[in-house]
Amino acid sequence: MPLAKRIIPCLDVDNGRVVKGIHFDRVKDAGDPVEFAQRYKLQGADELIFLDITASQQERETMKNVVRNVARVTDIPFTVGGGIRKLEDARDILLSGADKVSINTAAVKNPDLITDLMSIFGKQCVVVAIDAKRNYDDDGKNTFENHRGKKYWFEVRIYGGKVETGIDAIEWARKVESLGAGEILLTSIDADGTENGYDINLTKFICKAVRIPVIASGGCGEPRHMLEVFRKTDVDAALAASIFHYEKSTVDRVKEYLKKNGIEIRI
Q: Which domains does the chain have, with CATH numbers?
A: 6-260 (3.20.20.70)
Of the chain, the percentage scoring pLDDT greater than 70 comes to 90
Active-site position among 14, 46, 52, 131: 131
The tens digit of pLDDT for each residue in 63-87 reads 788 889 889 999 999 999 988 999 9
Q: What is the mean pLDDT of the chain?
A: 90
Say yes or no to pLDDT of 138 above 70.
yes
Q: Let me know if 131 is a catalytic residue.
A: yes
Encoded amino acid at 145, one letter: E
User: Is the entire prediction scored with pTM above 0.85?
Assistant: yes
For the residues 110-130, what does the mean pLDDT come to?
Answer: 97
pLDDT band at 114 (very low <50, low <70, confident <90, very high): very high
- Contacts of residue 19, defined as CB under 8 A and 6 or more positions apart, other chains included, come to 12, 13, 27, 28, 29, 30, 53
- CA nearest 76: which of 99, 96, 95? 99
Instruction: Give pLDDT, residue 174.
Output: 98
Active-site position among 12, 52, 89, 199: 12
Q: Let me know if 29 is a catalytic residue.
A: no
HEC sequence for the chain? CCCCEEEEEEEEEECCEEEEEECCEEEEEEECHHHHHHHHHHHCCCCEEEEECCCCCCCCCCCHHHHHHHHHCCCCCEEEECCCCCHHHHHHHHHCCCCEEEECHHHHHCCHHHHHHHHHHCHHHEEEEEEEEEECCCCCCCCEECCCCCEEEEEEEECCCCEEEEEEHHHHHHHHHHHCCCEEEEEECCCCCCCCCCCHHHHHHHHHHCCCCEEEECCCCCHHHHHHHHHHCCCCEEEECHHHHCCCCCHHHHHHHHHHCCCCECC
Alpha-carbon dihedral 12, 110, 120, 118, rounded to 10 degrees: 70
